[in-house]
Structure 1
Amino acid sequence: MSRFKRGAHVDSRAGFRQEKEDCPVPYGLLKAARKSGQLNLSGRGLTEVPQSVWRLNIDTPEEAQQNVSFGAADRWWEQADLTKLLLSSNKLQSLSEDVKLLPALLVLDIHDNQLSSLPDSIGDLEQLQKLILSHNKLTELPLGLWKLTNLRCLHLQQNLIKKIPLDLGQLVNLDELDLSNNHLMDIPESLANLKSLVKLNLSCNKLQSLPPGISEMKNLRMLDCSRNQIESIPPVLAQMESLEQLYLRHNKLRYLPELPCCKTLKDLFCGNNQIEVLEADHLKHLSALSFLELRDNKVKSLPEEITLLQGLERLDLTNNDISSLPCGLGALPKLKFLALEGNPLRTIRRDLLTKGTGELLKYLRSRIQEQPDGSLKEEPKTAMTLPSQAKINVHAIKTLKTLDYSEKQEGSIPDEVFDAVDDSPVANVNFSKNQLTEVPPRIMELKDTLADINLGFNKITTVPVDFSELKQLLHIDLRNNLLTSLPMELEGLTKLRSVILSFNRFKSFPDVLYRISSLETILISNNQVGGIDPVQMKTLNRLSTLDLSNNDIMQVPPELGNCTSLRALMLDGNPFRNPRAAILSKGTDAVLEYLRSRIPT
């Protein structure tokens, strides 16, 4: 009997104990993976993937070799095939051909390793939909990769790739492709076959041009070609019927791209180029544009045709050679942000520039009404122009749909102001720089048409619940007030795109903002906000600008890095230690990348 026991110990147990001791992956993880179909081995210092991982769905598990009974939860023979394998942030230099032993994989993440090559057998993973290979040392890609025709997402950024073969065109189901931060000199024409592609990132390469075939990608919404050596954009790019965001920063452009049929383009980023002249031919096709960035160029003047950009909301002209502004700029109905720092402006007083966009546009609008001899036009006397309304600009109400009663330092808005509206549709209200302690109740009379409201620089302590009835609101400016909270009913503002809450008294991030999915801009700097919820923030998939600077944030949650829609994230002036200032100075993309790398596994 003792001999039987000794034999059992040596023959049937020793092998498994040895494997368990040598394997750097806890056996409990493998056991759990058989049930869930998911295995996360990120950040474990692995230099190679243990054989037990590749053979997870082939070998009989250890407990099946032992004389033990199984409960319903431990039926290894009913195990799930592995569909998700995460191997990021290890020290892998190569990947075994045995990767083909996991044919059910849908997601394979190997980013942030030291891979210099991939096995050709990766092409056997026919079900694979998401492949993350960023931050490695890949110089070329195996032929097998192009067999993955079910692939939806392919990330190859931050590698050493010099050429992409024509075979790329076989990945016809791709909707996201990231080739940024490589050494690409050109892009194959076969890119035109990727007709399902929605996001394409080609930034930080050595591209001198784009293939004309790129215009055939009818579903592409975001194209990033920043930090290349591109001198011109092919006009056929305008045929991209869905393009909404185009990034051309840090190239060698001398003119704005001429995009004759592009009616969907909303954001055009052309900063850090060599653009000297803006021509009407380049502007007339951009009527849908909401954000135009031209900072750090050599623009000397703006044409009067700038008024063609009727949808423009943000215009960044920082660091150019502009000496004067066309008065027509003040007539752009939606323009809310105008950056002019670093220009040698001579025709506009410096103190006017420091008062902000609203005041500058107001000044330019007033110049439009000047006579050729320099005298101002006199408002025609009508039944609407009563002596008590002398300080109410009825002309602005009628022609610009703007009700302006700002800088009066008054504690309430006189009834005559609202009476002057009569039946005119008002889209913009400016009651800033008064002494208001509450939102004027009669604003609700404008609820059917009001799209923009400026109540900044007052003493407002609360926002009323019925504010949520202003269903057409696109922009709210409540900066420099005494607010500490917002009512949850504001989630009814389903069209709201931007909200400015800077310089108030918020101690926490208003929960209702997480519920307004249409938001694109949130400015809440200079408050006392102590933290944010990155999970809820990620649900705001249109959010591109988030300013949290000068608050009391002690810790930036790494999961904030998953908010990939963000293009401008401001965090400076908070007491957190990480990310360090050196990382913050690299810009939003670098900060988000850093935060993602810190997400615990």
Structure 2
Amino acid sequence: MARPTNVRSRRKLINPVFHLQTKEEDDSQLTKGIIKIVRRTGQLNLSGRSLANVPERMFTMYELTDEDTAKYIDFNKEPEEENWWQFKPLTYLDLSSNVLQEIPGQIGMFEDLTVLNLQDNNITSLPPEIGKLTKLTKLNLSHNKINLLPKEFYNLIELQVLSMAHNNLEKLSKHFGDLVMLQQLDLSHNVLTKLPSGMGFLVRLTEINLSHNKLIELPPDLVNLRGLLKLDVTHNDLVYLPKMEELTKLQFLYAQHNNIEEIPDFEGCTHLQQIYFGNNYIKEVSAEFCENMSNLKILELRDNKIETIPNEIAMLQHLIRLDLTNNDLTDLPHSLGLLAHLQNLQVEGNKLKKIRADIIKGGTIRILKHLKEKLDSEEYENIPKASSNVAHEPKTFPDRYTMKHSRALNLTMKQLTTVPDEVFEEAKTAEVTIVDLCKNKFPSVPGGLKLIAENLTELNLSMNSLTEIPEFISECSKLKYFDVGNNLLSNLPDCLSALISLRELVLSTNRFSSVPQCVYSMVGLEILLASDNKITEIDVEGLQNLKRIATLDLTNNNISQIPPQLGNMTQLRSVELKGNCFRQPRYAILDQGTASVLSYLRDKIPK
């Protein structure tokens, strides 16, 4: 007989072996102490209590008995403190992570509710009385078994955030468009085959997640959502996408794992930063597409049928990552070498005939350098310049409203050498957490950055002329991503060891002769990229302090020997060592992947 586990599953399945609590047991969860807190705060949290039924006491907890009255009156208190009768109405209710199968109609009595969390239960339907909760602004119904919404549901016209992910929804009413205050909508992991045309009325939407459904098309009026920032339609059956030209604020588009045959018209979508079209049937990247995507940073086109890339790809001057893995490419345009901002180019799984295998194995920088060397003057003259497609020059520094909306200070590719302190003062007021200063000409890190150091989670200083990193960066205690690649650095200050929340550190393309010692104290580090430096050895003892390290890139350095003890770091999922001068392991072993490399190294450890 299997030994019972102590781990409680997040999803609780009802079966004859599972002991469902009785109504009396469910009622006992709502103690007098909890009721007193509810009356005082207007908030009730009964999450994760194995409730099979909503406690009946919940619907009478605002009724006072004689015993309650006597208990609450205290003649020793000052008169103004005897506010025992002034209870706050219930505004927050959390019944998530239980085994509820239904919600009783009495839920409609809590007409002051603004937040209701019912996720992770076994609810199959909602009562009509749900429509009485007209003050609801946030409703979470994800991870249930709901297949149909009652018509009264569409009375919730104040809803701003609605999550119905992981249910059994087959269709939505045309009245869904009545929820005009919606800003975030998650309908992922259902069985929807189409969306109602009324979706176009939800003009306040900024995020929609429609992934993992069975959609074969999107409603044409979806393009009316001019405030939309993020659209996710991955894992559906879409053959095409409608013209996106009206979605002028769209920044993120996820459309992987569909049946899409061509890239839609993005003219006017000048704010698009990330596009994901992997695992489709796209055959072509048009010149018109490249001309309209001047601000694109990530373009993912892996696992398609693309045969050629146009020279106009050079117009994507902000591009950081381009994934062309597993297509039908036989050559790459030389103009790719002009994308100085490109940090990650993936071309594996193609039949490239005009580029040597050792160049491809050398990584992104090696490929781009090769392509740029092959670019002759005639080709260069025939490549359209990105600036010709820009109607006007953007402001050098974003205003407070822009930063407040995005929580980011983005100053990429502005040829800056300094930033006024006033900009960082505005950023502090806007509660900025992300700063991107890459692709400029900074000789030193702007001192004003110290004003927002304690709030930063991402900092990109790559592609400048930095020779040192100031010590105040150690005050960025919340920093998770730090990129100083493509500078003139040879060391980092020891005090950066305080960055224990850091998950990803990019040191690539600098002048480091070794990985700085402070790095080995960044205990939260998961990704360390240090390619294209002058590193001569691998400090395994230091790396072993990084218990979470999963990705290590030491490509194109001066490493002459790989310590066998590196093989014991089995938590590594990706190790890149190509482009160094060691003899062992051979490239044939490196090509077999990280697991093979680590296994080979372990076998070399002296016994």
Q: Using the alignment, how far apart are the partners of 2:30 and 2:202 within structure 1?
A: 39
How far off is 1:150 after superposition?
Answer: 0.7
5 Å-filtered alignment, 1:35-434, equals 35-60=40-65, 63-64=68-69, 66=71, 69=74, 71=77, 75-235=83-243, 237-369=244-376
Structure 1 gap segments, 5+ residues each = 1-17, 377-424, 429-448, 456-463, 515-520, 534-545, 557-571, 577-601
Q: Please give the per-residue CA displacement for 1:53-95, whole angstroms capped at 9, x wherever unaligned.
A: 2333345595325596375777431221111111111000000
Name the TM-score, length of structure 1 as normaliser. 0.64
Q: Using the alignment, how far apart are the partners of 1:287 and 1:497 within structure 2?
A: 25
Distance change (3 Å), C-alpha of 1:253 and 1:500: farther
How far off is 1:451 after superposition?
Answer: 3.8
How far off is 1:297 after superposition?
Answer: 1.2
1:452 aligns with 2:460: no
Q: Using the alignment, how far apart are the partners of 1:476 and 1:19 within structure 2?
A: 61
Greater shift, 237-246 or 345-354, is seen at 345-354
What is the letter of the counterpart of residue 363 of structure 1? H
- Contact 1:506/1:528 (8 A) holds in 2: no
Q: Using the alignment, how far apart are the partners of 1:222 and 1:336 within structure 2?
A: 24
Aligned residue among 496, 499, 521 for 1:510 = 499
- Contact 1:85/1:109 (8 A) holds in 2: yes
How far off is 1:186 after superposition?
Answer: 0.3
Residue 476 of structure 1 corresponds to: 461
5 Å-filtered alignment, 1:488-527, equals 488-489=472-473, 499=483, 510=499
What is the letter of the counterpart of residue 471 of structure 2? P
Q: Please give the per-residue CA displacement for 1:324-362, whole angstroms capped at 9, x wherever unaligned.
A: 111001112432221122222222222222333223212
- Contact 1:310/1:334 (8 A) holds in 2: yes
Q: Please give the per-residue CA displacement for 1:144-171, whole angstroms capped at 9, x wherever unaligned.
A: 2110111100000100000010111111
What is the letter of the counterpart of residue 289 of structure 1? L
Q: Using the alignment, how far apart are the partners of 2:26 and 2:275 within structure 1?
A: 57
Aligned residues: 439
- Contact 2:474/2:498 (8 A) holds in 1: no
Q: Using the alignment, how far apart are the partners of 2:441 and 2:349 within structure 1?
A: 27
Structure 2 gap segments, 5+ residues each = 1-22, 381-413, 418-435, 450-457, 509-514, 530-542, 550-568, 574-607
Q: Using the alignment, how far apart are the partners of 1:21 and 1:213 within structure 2?
A: 46
Q: Please give the per-residue CA displacement for 1:490-522, whole angstroms capped at 9, x wherever unaligned.
A: 889xxx9961589999995627979xxxxxx86
What is the letter of the counterpart of residue 499 of structure 1? D
Distance change (3 Å), C-alpha of 1:426 and 1:146: closer
1:467 aligns with 2:452: no
* SS of equivalent residue, structure 2 residue 445: helix
Distance change (3 Å), C-alpha of 1:88 and 1:551: farther
Amino-acid identity (%): 33
Distance change (3 Å), C-alpha of 1:554 and 1:513: closer
Residue 537 of structure 1 corresponds to: none
Name the TM-score, length of structure 2 as normaliser. 0.64
What is the letter of the counterpart of residue 44 of structure 2? L
Residue 27 of structure 1 corresponds to: 32
Q: Using the alignment, how far apart are the partners of 2:326 and 2:185 within structure 1?
A: 33
Distance change (3 Å), C-alpha of 1:146 and 1:335: same
* SS of equivalent residue, structure 2 residue 69: helix
What is the letter of the counterpart of residue 476 of structure 1? L
Q: Using the alignment, how far apart are the partners of 1:287 and 1:234 within structure 2?
A: 21
Greater shift, 48-57 or 96-105, is seen at 48-57
How far off is 1:140 after superposition?
Answer: 0.4
Greater shift, 296-305 or 72-81, is seen at 72-81
- Contact 1:176/1:198 (8 A) holds in 2: yes
What is the letter of the counterpart of residue 105 of structure 1? L
Q: Using the alignment, how far apart are the partners of 2:112 and 2:189 within structure 1?
A: 30
- Contact 1:552/1:574 (8 A) holds in 2: no
- Contact 1:269/1:294 (8 A) holds in 2: yes
How far off is 1:469 after superposition?
Answer: 4.8
- Contact 1:180/1:202 (8 A) holds in 2: yes
Distance change (3 Å), C-alpha of 1:205 and 1:450: closer
* SS of equivalent residue, structure 1 residue 150: coil
Residue 471 of structure 2 corresponds to: 487
